[in-house]
Amino acid sequence: MKIINVNASEKYNVVIGSGILKDAGSLTASAIKSKTAAIICDSNVGAIYASTVEESFKKAGINTVKYIFPAGETSKCPEQYIKLLEFLAENHLTRKDAIVAVGGGVTGDLAGFAAATYLRGISLVQIPTSLLAAVDSSVGGKNGIDLTAGKNLAGAFYQPDIVICDVEAFKTLPKKEFISGMAEVIKYGVISDKELFDILASEDTAKRLMEIPESYVNIKEKNERCKELDREFIEEIVARCVAAKAHIVEEDEFEGGLRKLLNYGHTAAHAIEKLTDYEITHGEAVGAGMVIAVEYAEAMGKCSKETVEKIKKIIDMYKLPGSIEVTAEYWGKERELLAADKLTNAALSDKKVANGSIDLILPEEIGQCVIENVDTAGLKGFFEGKVI
Ligand SMILES: NC(=O)c1ccc[n+]([C@@H]2O[C@H](COP(=O)([O-])OP(=O)(O)OC[C@H]3O[C@@H](n4cnc5c(N)ncnc54)[C@H](O)[C@@H]3O)[C@@H](O)[C@H]2O)c1
């Protein structure tokens, strides 16, 4: 088990281990003193893990109520957010109680926003079950919902009281979702951890990681040593990403500067997600966004061809769509639907646009990125891969 301490405006621990879901109640009880916990899950995760979490809370002397919503990004919406608040009120949750988000980034963002705003803020426990949520969305305190105009347009900065990550949960994660999470793992390598990037870029690591959802499922037929090795390995990867994020959040919790680096690949990703009606997952879109950003960085003379090739290769190794062409093909629609002007318009609704300009995160080399502010014309050039 690994514990990473986050020293933001609120201090809390991220506990990473194998088989620790059944201890979620006692781990929570050691961090907060709540009498009742509202356990929030989407329909997929609820069917698999809600009862284990409920039991562990009951064992720790915490009453539970449970709220299940339909799985998918479209549930990260105002209607679902209001339904959740009404549920909390109907069940008389008080300021002393807690919200427990068990699931992927959609659950964490939706439940986190409810925790930040219900009764002006109640305790929050994040229990990420997707790789993406484990390495990124459950840590750092950002939450929110999507509006018709764009992604994450309503939300808050609100730190959890504890994050409990059981890597065993990845055994039931669909491979597509595991791959989606790998995009955020790779992101940490590019923005701040060259050593992590190099580990991920080895054929051996890629093979080992890409086998994780399946190897867990088939584990009974394999030997126990293999099982232990994989668990330790994935715990280590998650811990490394969480440590990188914790460091950035500690330095710049409210995204004045350094934290913007975490948006590497995300300007294009949010536009792609919006145009594809969220049929392309967040991580898949981030994969494409990272390639678009590094190609633009090269066009601007900020990085070498070698850096572009390294990023394209790793995106390919982890089977992420890496360019607009491949993304459109993967989506099964015409390339024209993701044309540069359409992407530019979609990106202009990004919450990071201020006074007609936006900060792009561009790699200079592996492990180091810079922030480049561009206007609307520059943004179109960004999507066309040329400097305007
Ligand atoms: N707040 C932040 O800092 C932050 C950072 C990055 C991403 N995000 C947000 O996170 C969301 C993406 O997160 P996500 O990829 O986890 O999406 P998600 O929550 O929709 O989960 C993906 C799918 O996997 C399923 N799932 C999750 N864990 C499972 C498990 N253990 N077993 C079986 N199925 C499981 C879910 O039911 C869902 O169908 C996006 O909305 C994105 O904007 C937020």
Nearest atom in ligand 1 to 270's CA = 43
pLDDT above 70: residue 319: yes
Catalytic option among 171, 187, 245, 310: 245
- Residues with a CB atom less than 6 Å from ligand 1: 42, 44-45, 48, 71, 73, 76, 103-107, 109, 129-130, 132-133, 136-137, 140, 142-143, 152, 169, 172-173, 177, 180, 281-283
- Global model pTM greater than 0.85: yes
The residue count of the chain comes to 388
pLDDT at 274 over 70: yes
Cα of 130 vs centre of ligand 1, distance in Å, is 6
DSSP 8-class letter at 145: E
Residue 375 pairs in a beta bridge with 357
Q: Looking at residue 364, what is its pLDDT?
A: 98
Confirm whether 386 is a catalytic residue: no
Between CA 71 and CA 257 the distance in angstroms is 33
**What DSSP assignment string belongs to 273-316?**
HHHTTT-S-HHHHHHHHHHHHHHHHHHTTSS-HHHHHHHHHHHH
- Say how many Å lie between the CA of residue 322 and the centre of ligand 1: 20
Q: How far apart are CA 352 and CA 360, in angstroms?
A: 9
Q: What's the mean pLDDT in 264-283?
A: 95
**DSSP-assigned letter for residue 354:** B
- With contact defined as beta carbons under 8 Å apart, do 184 and 142 qualify? no
Summarised one tens digit per residue, pLDDT across range 165-222 is 999 999 888 889 999 999 999 999 999 999 999 999 999 899 888 877 665 555 555 5
Q: What is the pLDDT of residues 54-84, one digit of tens each?
A: 999 999 999 999 999 999 999 999 999 999 9
What is the Å distance from ligand 1's center to 179 Cα? 12
Q: How confident is the model at residue 21 (pLDDT cuts 50, 70, 90)?
A: very high
Pocket mutation for ligand 1, best pick of 106, 138, 266 (most atoms within 8 Å of C-beta): 106
- Residue identifier of the C-alpha nearest atom 3 of ligand 1: 137
Q: Which of 73, 184, 273, 298 is catalytic?
A: 184
142 is catalytic: yes
Closest of 189, 240, 234 to residue 210, by C-alpha = 234
Q: Which of 267, 247, 251, 256 is nearest to 193 (CA)?
A: 247
- Tell me, what's the pLDDT at 227? 55
pLDDT score at 218: 57
- CA–CA dist 378, 89 (Å, integer): 47
Active site residue 120: yes
Q: How confident is the model at residue 224 (pLDDT cuts 50, 70, 90)?
A: low
CB 215 within 8 A of CB 207: no
- From the list 92, 120, 225, 305, the catalytic residue is 120
Residue 152 near residue 144, CB atoms below 8 Å: yes
Of all atoms in ligand 1, which is nearest to the CA of residue 72? 20
Mean pLDDT, rounded, for 322-333: 91
pLDDT on residue 229: 55
Distance (Å, rounded) from C-alpha 345 to C-alpha 347?
Answer: 5
Q: Residue 231 burial by CB count (10 A; 0-12/13-18/19+): exposed, middle or buried?
A: buried
DSSP letter at 249 equals: H
**Tokens found for residue 157:** 């900065």
